[in-house]
Structure 1
């Protein structure tokens, strides 16, 4: 009997066994204050960064319930990958896809995160499989603006940098073999993105169907800084 399926990706790495539990804590910075008349009010502020925690199993043997993108990989491969995510100090995409037994996707969790902590657990009583407790932190992009002042006190104009899609080797390059993430920039449309990744703009519906929860009901309306999943064709 077919079961529900979960796919957990850390950047481009698919975890072989989906964690049994996923905890995402949505933090906020709201503050309750007491007025001079004794009444309390809640000051609503922007949400703080979310925390993500889960524990994953890394098998030493090829179990029938484990899933691999190409071939079986031992725990050492994943531990090296986690270490690189930590030491490179760069954000990456955390993606969880949930599927019904029919293959229909329910919804996705798709957020940019950083690797905060992970704990490696080995229990001789349970064989040589490795468990890893992972803590992620939501990441928000930020930047600074610089203004150069001339001697007469006037601001100089900043040169605009054109944002472009990531390079693709040729128009006939194969479509992505596994889900990728793409951040929308000014001037993008789904047709243009599909043309870049698949070589055929008419396949924009593939991207739209995978990102309806992000885009909404109108595939013609996408906005800069939205993060989209680019599924295999």
Structure 2
């Protein structure tokens, strides 16, 4: 049994807005009270502490996510959802979101630590920020993102003898992930160290967790646990994929 090194994290929930294949990592300092997830024209508003609703699988419209929160002027472990070394000032956050909004490629939005894991490439649809006089330095904001899907279209060939028209497909999810690799968990491993080995940054363990959650839960149940506890419980011999 291995424990992931998360004892310094103020909360089990973590939210990211990354870019450049996760080489540039931004951890939201404050979690919103609620996140609104819209899919297929149906809207669900769920409390951050009671995530449990699973999105409908299969064909659907692009997901839209919207939420409001604030970027605190100073770090505080009692109210921040990131570690102190990950904390960035409201000024940097404001500049980062504006940069992502103007970028040619989608950003990578991740909500980790919840049964309703959100992990998708997205475009920033709208962003508004305000600074109130009574709380100098703190920026309140509202952010809306829409799932980025890369459409692929193939032309139909002319019908003739021995020829068939090719199918046209659209709406594939955008991805900048490399080919997956196989890995067998060894004694002394933790997802943080595995992520550091393959990606150069342990903070990217969520990519491995989200890709292997079912496998890790199944392995934990063989040892009498209800699940992998968001990757905190992993066992030697478990075969996983590195996305």
* Distance (Å, rounded) in 2 between the aligned partners of 1:115 and 1:211: 24
Residues 208 and 215, structure 1, Cα contact 8 Å, conserved in 2: no
Q: Aligned pair 1:183/2:198, yes or no?
A: no
> Offset at 1:182?
6.3
Deviation by residue 1:57-94 (Cα, 9 ceiling, x = unmatched): 11112333223462643211001100110111311211
RMSD across aligned positions (CA): 4.2
- 1:108: how far off? 2.4
Could you tell me how far 1:121 is from its partner in structure 2? Answer: 1.9
1:140 alignment counterpart? 149
* Cα pair 2:27 2:87 within 8 Å, conserved: no
Q: Highest relative contact order (Cα 8 Å, sep 6+), 1 or 2?
A: 2
Residue among 5, 8, 31 paired with 2:12: 5
> Normalising to structure 1: TM-score of the pair?
0.54
Q: 1:189–1:220: 8 Å Cα contact kept in structure 2? A: no
CA contact (8 A) 1:107 1:213 kept: no
> Relative to 1, partners in 2 of residues 1:214 and 1:92: Cα closer, same or farther, differing over 3 Å?
farther
For structure 2, which runs of at least 5 residues remain unmatched after alignment? Answer: 1-8, 19-24, 43-57, 157-174, 185-190, 199-204, 220-237
In the other structure, the counterpart of 1:52 is 65
For the 8 Å contact 1:89–1:114, the answer to whether it is kept is no
Given the superposition, is the C-alpha separation of residues 220 and 21 from structure 1 closer, same or farther in structure 2, using an over 3 Å criterion? same
Give, in whole Å, the separation in 2 of the partners of 1:221 and 1:119: 40
CA-CA distance at 1:46 after TM superposition: 3.4
Change (3 A) 1:19 1:69: same
What's the CA shift for 1:146?
7.7
Structure 1 residue 220: deviation in Å?
7.0
TM-score, scaled relative to structure 2 = 0.52
Greater C-alpha Rg? 1
The verdict on how the C-alpha distance between 1:206 and 1:111 changes in structure 2, with shifts beyond 3 A counting, is closer
Partner of 2:6: none
Secondary structure, in 3 states, of the residue corresponding to 2:96?
A: helix
Which residue number in structure 2 is paired with residue 110 of structure 1?
Answer: 119
SS of residue paired to 1:14? coil
Partner of 2:112: 97
* Paired residues, number: 164
Q: CA deviation at 1:122?
A: 2.0
Q: Within 5 Å, give how 1:115-126 maps onto structure 2.
A: 115-126=124-135
- Provide the rounded CA distance (Å) in 1 between the counterparts of 2:113 and 2:195: 26
Provide structure 1 residue ranges, at least 5 long, that are not aligned to the other structure.
Answer: 30-44, 100-105, 148-180, 200-204, 229-233
Q: Please list every run of at least 4 consecutive aligned residues from structure 1 whose deviation after the TM superposition is greater than 6 angstroms.
A: 194-197, 214-222
Distance of 1:184 and 1:69 partners within structure 2: 31
* Structure-2 separation of matches of 1:8 and 1:144: 33
Structure 2 equivalent of residue 153 of structure 1: none
> 1:14, 1:69 within 8 Å by CA — same for their partners in 2?
no
Using the TM superposition, give the Cα deviation of residue 125 of structure 1 relative to its aligned residue in structure 2, in angstroms: 3.5
